[in-house]
Amino acid sequence: MKITFRQLRLMESVARNGSYTRASEELHLTQPAVSTQIKQLEEEVGLPLFEQLGKKIFLTEAGKEMYEFSRGIAQQVQDIEAVFDDLKGVRRGNLSLTVTSTGKYFAPYLLAEFVKRHPGTQVHLEVTNREDLLVQLQENIPNMAIMGRPPNSLELISREFMDNPLVVFSRPDHPLAGVKNIPISRLMEYNFILRERGSGTRNAVESFFKHHHSKLNTSMEMSRNEAVKHSVMAGLGLGIISLQALEFELALNRVAILDVEGFPLMKKWYLVYRAGKRMSPIAQEFHDFVLYSAKSIIQKPAEFLKQNAD
């Protein structure tokens, strides 16, 4: 078989993105060019690698095998580049970062400052839920990830770098808005809109109330913070999410943080990557940048908590 590295790289991108269009955008090619290369690869292999059902494309059995090979080869090429960049003292390159959905509220600001300090760095940022992020880590796709508490089931290196305060919030005209030292028992009188089961936020909330022998009245579950916020602003109940997700709503006086016993629930943000992973020079630079500079760049949640404590 005469298979080119270019074809494998295209195949890996299409499979990972689940889209010819997104793959073409990622690799700065036209969609017809990507489709043509994939078709030539399928002809060389003698088997279809993708199948289309409706508007979505899926890997065939042959495609799954080829995807595993292409990912392994792509990782080896990245390792080669990392070794020689390190020898040359290069401080620019490609950076792949995956963050959980709440991380999207601050990760772009970290990346903006990092790119300012390291011009020429090409960044690929993906925002996804906790479950998909763990799959990506398991498959060694990103250089690193930003998430809440990592699981013990994977061989990961994790470094905490910033507080992640979870707060109870409501509409500004809610009966509890402005009340001081609200006991946990009062919350049992109201409905809550929470993140979906399995999310980092939901896990932390359930653990907290279980510890206090309480259970919230969960009227709705949402898979996105935006949906939780809009449901609370519509008057459907109270919510609990990261303070970092409420910056604009607080500035516009669309929500109010409630002064509840035990809150804010102070969790941590972690920078995570696979154990034994070879860091490229630019990835190592980003690693150190996040650990030592994130707190000074992302200050607003800490400032808000201090102002409300005074």
Average pLDDT over residues 96-112: 91
Q: CA torsion sign, 52 to 127 to 248 to 235?
A: positive
Task: State how far Cα 276 lies from the chain centre.
Answer: 22
What DSSP designation does 172 have? Answer: T
pLDDT at 302: 46
More confident residue, 238 or 24: 238
| Termini Cα distance of the chain | 71
User: 3-state DSSP call for residue 103?
Assistant: helix
- Out of 52-56, 81-85, 239-243, pick the least confident: 81-85
Average pLDDT over residues 45-62: 86
Structural Rg of the chain based on CA atoms: 23
CA–CA distance, 164 with 144 (Å, rounded to integer): 19
pLDDT at 92: 60
pLDDT at 87: 56
The identity of residue 273, as a single letter, is Y
- Which tens digits make up the pLDDT trace of 123-159? 889 998 888 898 888 888 888 999 988 888 788 999 9
Confidence of residue 308 (pLDDT cuts 50, 70, 90): low
Rounded percentage of the chain residues whose pLDDT exceeds 90: 39
Domains of the chain: 5-70 (1.10.10.10), 91-310 (3.40.190.290)
For residue 51, pLDDT beyond 90: no
For residue 2, pLDDT beyond 50: yes
CA dihedral 106, 108, 113, 117 (to 10 degrees): 140
Average pLDDT over residues 48-73: 84
Token representation of residue 265 = 């629930």
pTM over the 0.75 mark: no
Confidence of residue 91 (pLDDT cuts 50, 70, 90): low
97, 107 contact by CB (below 8 A): yes
More confident residue, 158 or 94: 158
Closest CA to 92 of 251, 228, 281, 218: 281
User: 3-state DSSP call for residue 47?
Assistant: coil
Confidence of residue 83 (pLDDT cuts 50, 70, 90): low
pLDDT at 278: 78
More confident residue, 155 or 91: 155
- Which tens digits make up the pLDDT trace of 270-307? 999 988 887 888 888 899 999 998 888 886 544 555 55
